[in-house]
Amino acid sequence: MKIIPAIDIINGQCVRLTQGDYEQKKVYNNNPLEVALEFEGAGIKYLHVVDLDGAKAGSIQNFTIIEKLVKETQLRIDVGGGIKTEGDIRRLLNLGVAQVNLGSIAAKNPELVNEWMDLFGPDKIIISADVRNEKIALHGWQEQSMLSIYDFLQLFPSKLLHVTCTDIATDGMLSGPNLSLYQKIQGRFPDASITASGGVSSIKDLDALLKLKVDGVIIGKAIYENKISLTELSKYVN
């Protein structure tokens, strides 16, 4: 199971939101690179970066910081937040970002995202499913759709390799992940690699996800609030 710490960026700062609420923002560090280097120093190999300004604006806003993270660490970085054009995808991949996360655009224009999967390769694209009550939320979680996660994922029938699912109800709450949701997704899409996101609060949660055999887990607030130490995480790193 991949251990994937998260760095969420607003105004160039490393922040965390609670349940996707921009009004419930807490700044943890003014220098995201400093945070990334701490992760790398603990032996972690992956990093999930969310441009929250980009999620609101509909295009990447913190490109300079993302570039610095890619060039000054050896982490395998995936990026999400407002990616809606072929140009943004190409720019990020050319920079050295390993994968891009597509959420709102995938729900609103799946035909275009299927074309991008053909163009860039499905291994370069993570379908990002952010859900409330198993329904997809859009545009930095500010808009709620009636599209179920299962109908959403079926829009990519032959190319669905990587899925990150965030349960908004648990995100930032340190209340434990929605294990039953990930089990359901695995049952319906057994060939996809599922990364769990939201709610991880303890080593016990990591053990539960490990038993589920998800491909990866994104951890944010639990690290920043010292609920899980980097030393503890290093034991899960291959």
Q: Which residues are catalytic?
A: 8, 130
Question: Which residues fall within 8 angstroms of residue 84, CB to CB, at 6 or more apart?
Answer: 58, 59, 104, 105
Which residue is listed with tokens 């079926």? 154
User: In the Cβ-directed half-sphere of 49, how many Cα atoms lie within 13 Å?
Assistant: 37
| Beta carbons of 128 and 168 less than 8 angstroms apart | no
H-helix or E-strand spanning residue 144: strand 143-148
Q: Are strands 162-167 and 125-132 parallel, antiparallel or unpaired?
A: parallel
Which residue is listed with tokens 């944010």? 220
Question: Which residues fall within 8 angstroms of residue 38, CB to CB, at 6 or more apart?
Answer: 230
Report the alpha-carbon distance of residue 4 to residue 216 in Å, rounded.
Answer: 7
Q: Phi, psi (5° rounding) for residue 153?
A: -70, -25
Report the alpha-carbon distance of residue 141 to residue 119 in Å, rounded.
Answer: 28
Measure CA 216 to chain center. 10
Report the alpha-carbon distance of residue 15 to residue 140 in Å, rounded.
Answer: 14
